[in-house]
Chain A
Amino acid sequence: MKTQSLIDMLAKGAGPAPRAPVLQRMAPAVALGLLGSALFALMSMGAIPAAMYETPAPWMKLGYGASLALAAGWSTARLSRPVARTQWPLRAVLIVFATMLALGALTLVISAPDQRMAALLGETWLTCPRNVVVLSLPALAGALWAVRGLAPTQLRAAGFNAGLMAGALGAMGYALVCPEVSATFVAVWYSLGILLTGLLGAFLGPRLLRW
């Protein structure tokens, strides 16, 4: 086929360009990822007692997860276009991480010296990052599917940011079943789980996101 024939074919009946394709693919991935993570967490681990929702602990985790999912979702959306303007979204991601780390450090500093190890390790530090990663997998699959249908050109960065977003959504699901209360715990172990999901995304990006 001559290139001119291809151009004629592409132009004929082309209609207007699709509107907001990035949002159209990302939104269902986020919704299904969050739902999958929450359902899987509740079914496999059992919800925290309702009384805990009167304390700040679950809200802090949900707030952290939601802000990070928003910031990383923003950067992932930008990286899903051939020319990515990522300066502001990446700053937003860093600000969310830095805020949580500052909060965790502050909590550690103001707690009594004999409470510090408890604040840092809680009772579940060994399983928390792993649980966050596992609960992120539905969102990671959804996010990679969404980005794969778009036009990323920095595949590793796109995969990493998609992984961070999925990790944050997985952390939100885990918040529904996690008994820990300290901000230090969340700042360290939740963040570690989220970063591991990000690294998994960065590993998969160049393999899965080609178009």
Chain B
Amino acid sequence: MPLETGPNDFEASLKPLWMRAQQGDEVAYREALEKIASRIRGFLRWRMQSMPDEIEDLVQETLLALHLQRGTFDPGLPVSAWVMAIARHKLVDLWRRRGRRENLHDALDDVDESRMAAEPVEECAQRDLDRLLRELPDVQRQAIVLTKIEGLSVAEASMRTGISESAIKVQVHRGLKRLAQWVKDTGS
């Protein structure tokens, strides 16, 4: 993977992938998420020097939120602006939960872009999403495991479980939403 440094390179390489992903191209979506993850990690690493162990947790929380809200992307704006707005929102929310209010905006606005260089995606979070996944209600967990981990199509998952295709999609979405909520509430 080439190393991106400037914000414009990032946008230029992300936008085409992202537009394909929005149309339903999974391969493009995976690649876009990888680029986004390393970008967010760079951004947070610089902002969260006092809590380095939690960076990866927040990367994952942001990715989950971004996935659930990908319908709110406005094609008239840069993808990177949308992504970073979500990452910033999640960071502010983490600080709020920790009761750190001082100088929030100063700290956020003067982002030094060169510090946001890409990082390889290999890190492991403290928070155990696998465990949270196991604690989801059965229908939601089953729908997620079948379609999103075992990789069955929605139609196959529907055949396997006897649940309608639209119900599978609803359960997957609800499960991910609940996961996102837990992740936000536990905040490790």
Contacts and interface: CB of A to CB of B under 8 A. Distances in A.
Interface of A: 1-4, 6-22, 80-83, 85, 150-151, 153, 210-211
Interface stretch (B4-12, B46-54, B109-117, B147-155): B147-155
B118 interface: no
A11 B36 CA distance: 13
A1 B67 contact: no
Interface size class of B (residues with CB under 8 A): 35 or more
A80 B72 CA distance: 8
Contacts of A21: 71-72
B135 interface: no
Contacts of B21: 14, 17
Nearest to A211: B65
B184 to A, nearest CB: 8
B23 A16 contact: yes
A158 to B, nearest CB: 12
A9 B128 contact: no
Contact of A14 (B29, B77, B121): B29
A6 B63 contact: yes
Nearest to B36: A7
A30 to B, nearest CB: 18
Nearest to A13: B147
B130 to A, nearest CB: 5
Nearest to B157: A13
Contacts of A1: 60, 124-125, 128-130, 133
Closest 6 CB pairs of A and B: A16-B24, A18-B71, A21-B71, A82-B85, A11-B30, A1-B129
B73 interface: yes
A113 B153 CA distance: 76
B125 A3 contact: yes
B30 A17 contact: no
Interface string B80-123: 01100110110001000000000000000000000000000111
B148 A12 contact: yes
B26 A13 contact: yes
Interface residues of A, dominant DSSP: loop
Contacts of B65: 151, 211
A81 B75 CA distance: 12
A82 B123 contact: no
A151 B69 contact: yes
A82 B90 CA distance: 11
Contacts of A80: 72
Contact of B148 (A10, A153, A210): A10
A163 B95 CA distance: 27
A14 B70 CA distance: 11
A29 B125 CA distance: 38
27 contacts: A1-B60, A1-B125, A1-B129, A2-B123, A2-B125, A3-B121, A3-B124, A4-B34, A6-B60, A6-B129, A9-B148, A10-B67, A11-B30, A11-B33, A13-B26, A13-B148, A14-B21, A16-B22, A16-B23, A17-B70, A17-B73, A81-B74, A82-B72, A83-B74, A151-B65, A151-B86, A151-B89
Contact of A81 (B56, B72, B122, B130): B72
Interface string B153-188: 110000000000000010010001000000010000
B139 interface: no
Given A83-B77, A85-B77, A17 B37 contact: no
B20 to A, nearest CB: 10
Contacts of B72: 21-22, 80-82, 150-151
A1 to B, nearest CB: 4
B60 A13 contact: no
A91 B165 CA distance: 44
